[in-house]
Structure 1
Amino acid sequence: KPTSSIRLACLPRLQKDPKLALQLFKNPNPNPNDTEAHPLKPFRYNLLHYDLIITKLGRAKMFDEMQQILHQLKHDTRIVPKEIIFCNVIGFYGRARLLERALQMFDEMSSFNVQMTVKFFNTLLNPKLTCGKLDRMKELFQIMEKYVSPDACSYNILIHGCVVSRRLEDAWKVFDEMVKRRLQPTLVTFGTLIYGLCLELRVDEALKLKEDIMRVYNVKPDGQVFASLIKGLCAVGELSLALGVKEEMVRDKIEMDAGIYSSLISALFKAGRKNEFPAILKEMKERGCKPNSVTYNALISGFCKEEDFEAAFTILDEMGDKGCKANPISYNVILGGLCKDGKC
């Protein structure tokens, strides 16, 4: 029985092996062995069929095969592709750090007769961010303005690129341009700037910005903002302020992750206040936050720096008992401490 259009839309979803899914797509109705049978008509693919197989191949990083399907789609004159398909393709290339292939997709867009919106350009900015190509992000931004007007998301991506490239002053220039264009900054905008300030250990400015975004822009900080502040404060030795920020999170019922608690545990050891870490672990348990390898490694590192290797090994054993697998960092910290102490 010939495969129907609906059935072909279901089969790739059910088929876990992308190679078999591709085979089904290419040959949905193989010719029967009976040589006298009439040949079947060419299968009439629809947009959903193309979307499903492109997604399947992209997730499997079968990029050459994905390009072959895109080539077939280009020449299937019955179908007008949607922009989202190409956004997904660029996303696959971006996650694989294949920037040139993502840019090639941009060059080929006109041949698909697809109108590009700001969403497409924002998607194209992300691979450049992933690959750390800030200057090329700025070039694309200029090209983008010939087609569409950048939105808040566009500026947020560019600000993020500046911050991770450790070019914070450039990030502020982008922010100023964003405001000049009367685009409303978002929580993502301010969260990225606060992260950048904390990365540069400019925590006083970060704390002031947190207050400003609530007072001036009526934007409520989220867990990511508080995490940046706590890590930044711990890094500059302002443990009391960090603990105060944590209490603010508790008061405002903002969820805390193991990363925040791990930063506080490391800071307690560094400040000579290791006797306070059990209270942190107790709070984690009460708030339903399970310690992870980062938390245990913070404890192991703290005890090793104090040359309390027995306690460090106890924590290592506890990791296994609690179902948290030790990683190379766990062992390297202990071995490093033992060697430094002349015990290896």
Structure 2
Amino acid sequence: MRSEGIEPNAIVYNPIIDALGEAGKFKEALGMMEHFLVLESGPTISTYNSLVKGYCKAGDLVGASKILKMMISRGCVPTPTTYNYFFRYFSKFGKIEEGMNLYTKMIESGYTPDRLTFHLLLKMLCDEGRLDLAVQVSKEMRSRGLDMDLATSTMLIHLLCNLHKFKEAFAEFEDMIRRGLVPQYLTFQRMNDELRKQGMTEMAHKLCNMMSSVPHSTNLPNTYVRERDASHARRKSIIQKAEAMSDLLKTCSDPRELAKYRSSPENVVSRANQLVEDIKRKANIQ
């Protein structure tokens, strides 16, 4: 290029540095950065973000932090995208303390989080069951003019249900409908099931009315169907074992015989039935 009188610029360097960072070849990427630094145009925000992304993807937060300090020292202001690479790592590995510390520093330094920032923080907090912090972050999100979207509202509702805070989950569900968001059918189905299990039938009825008031799909993920089938099979198996053991206790008065079946609960049905048949045969012989 130089032989043709064309000086390399960001359009040339940025894709190369991005590819090297993605591949974890940081020595080569930093070498390209050094060449870029001597040019009049110099690295751009995209250049630094590519390196931050690469280091975070590789789990090297020290390297990513060095790039962050480098860009600030050179007068390049980090964007929410820059910080979101860190938050993506923290969310993936449940690093709550590190994530919240960075979020606090980001706010104190005058940087503005975007919708993705809050999404990543809420995902991390909901996955780790930290309702207190999740509610705090959701309030801060709203205070900055960013309404909870379908993904963040869904995560919060599922967390509330997992913690048996059904009234709060119902209020969030109701707020989604009010804001024009259609909850996923899976979210509705799980809430409806849980409310009925808890005997909260009036609330379940209101939930059904709300869901029927908006157009929605009734498809459920295959995993949810399999989970329900597996749960039904487990309950059926437990009932069968209980009934078999009840029959066993009615017909057998020898504690030594009963002790044989205590150690093998998976075979209790067949063994109990066999013992009942043995007792019947003995009775007929006598």
Q: How does 1:53-132 map to 2 (within 5 A)?
A: 53-73=16-36, 75-132=37-94
Residue of structure 1 in register with 2:152 after alignment: 189
Change in CA separation of 1:340 and 1:42 when aligned onto 2, cut-off 3 Å: farther
Alignment of 1:287-306 (within 5 A): none
CA deviation after TM superposition for structure 1 residue 64, in Å: 3.0
Q: Is 2:122 the partner of 1:159?
A: yes
Q: Deviations over 1:259-302 (max 9, x none)?
A: 33333332332343xxxxxxxxxxxxxxxxxxxxxxxxxxxxx9
Amino acid at match of 1:105: I
Whole-angstrom distance in 1 between the partners of 2:195 and 2:22: 42
Partner of 2:221: 257
Partner of 2:182: 220
Aligned equivalents of 1:112, 1:254: Cα separation in 2 = 54
> Which whole-Å CA distance do the structure 1 matches of 2:191 and 2:61 have between them?
32
Instruction: Give the superposition deviation at 1:106.
Output: 1.2
- Cα distance in structure 2, aligned partners of 1:105 and 1:71: 13
C-alpha distance 100-41 of structure 1, shift in aligned 2 (>3 A): same
Instruction: Flag the 1:198–1:219 CA change in 2: closer, same or farther, 3 A.
Output: same
Tell me which residue corresponds to 2:231. 267
Structure 1 pair 230/78, CA: closer, same or farther in 2 (3 Å)?
farther
Distance (Å, rounded) in 2 between the aligned partners of 1:99 and 1:109:
15
Partner of 1:318: none
Larger Rg: 2
- 1:253 partner amino acid: S
Identity %: 20
Structure whose residues are more often helix by fraction? 2
- TM-score w.r.t. length of structure 2: 0.64
How far off is 1:138 after superposition? 2.0
Secondary structure at the aligned position of 2:98 is classed as helix
Deviation per residue, 1:321-344 (Å, 9 max, x gap): xxxxxxxxxxxxxxxxx99669xx
The residue type equivalent to 1:90 in the other structure is V
User: Which position in structure 1 is the counterpart of 2:246?
Assistant: none
Aligned equivalent of 2:142:
179
Alpha-carbon distance in 1 for matches of 2:20, 2:51: 10
Secondary structure at the aligned position of 1:209 is classed as helix
How many residues are paired up? 237
Distance in 2 (CA, whole Å) between partners of 1:91 and 1:206 is 35
- The equivalent position to 1:144 in structure 2, one of 102, 106, 109, is 106
Instruction: Look up the match of 1:319.
Output: none
Task: Give me the whole-angstrom Cα distance separating, in 2, the residues matched to 1:155 and 1:231.
Answer: 25
Higher relative contact order (CA 8 A, sep 6+): 2
Gaps of 5+ in 1: 6-39, 273-301, 308-337
Instruction: Report if the CA contact (8 A) 2:84-2:116 is conserved.
Output: yes
Query: Any conservation in 1 of the 2:14–2:46 contact (CA below 8 Å)?
Result: no
Deviation at 1:136, TM superposition (A): 1.9
Deviation at 1:57, TM superposition (A): 1.9
Aligned CA distance change for structure 1 residues 254 and 231 (closer, same or farther; 3 Å):
closer
Q: CA deviation at 1:228?
A: 5.1
